[in-house]
Amino acid sequence: MLFLYKNVLCQPLAMVDVVRARKPNNLPVVLAESEVEAVLGEMEGDQWLMTSMLYGSGLRLMECLRLRAKDLDFEYRCVNVRRGKGGKDRVTTLADPLVKPLQRHLKLVKSMYERDKARGVEGVWMPDALAKKYDAREWRWQFVFPARRTSVDPRSGARRRHHYHPNTLQKAVKVAVARAGIEKKVSCHTFRHSFATHLLASGADIRTVQDQLGHQDVRTTQLYTHLLGRGASAVVSPLNRLRARPRDGLKD
Question: Which of these is catalytic: 189, 226, 243, 245?
Answer: 189
Between CA 233 and CA 64 the distance in angstroms is 33
Nearest one of 2, 24, 22 to 11, comparing CA atoms: 2
Active site residue 148: no
Active site residue 60: yes
Active site residue 100: no
DSSP assigned state of 9? I
Active site residue 215: yes
Active site residue 224: yes
Active site residue 134: no
Between CA 211 and CA 200 the distance in angstroms is 13
Question: Which of these is catalytic: 70, 82, 85, 165?
Answer: 85
Amino acid (1-letter code) at residue 139: W
Neighbours of 213 (CB within 10 A): 22
Between CA 11 and CA 5 the distance in angstroms is 5
DSSP assigned state of 97? G
In total, the chain counts a number of residues equal to: 252
Between CA 132 and CA 141 the distance in angstroms is 13
Question: Which of these is catalytic: 160, 192, 193, 198?
Answer: 192
Question: Which of these is catalytic: 60, 66, 160, 161?
Answer: 60
Question: Which of these is catalytic: 55, 113, 164, 224?
Answer: 224
H or E segment and range at residue 176: helix 166-179
Amino acid (1-letter code) at residue 92: T
Question: Which of these is catalytic: 66, 68, 160, 215?
Answer: 215
Side-chain-side CA neighbours of residue 200 (13 Å): 28
Bridge partners (DSSP) of residue 72 are: 79
Active site residues: 60, 85, 189, 192, 215, 224
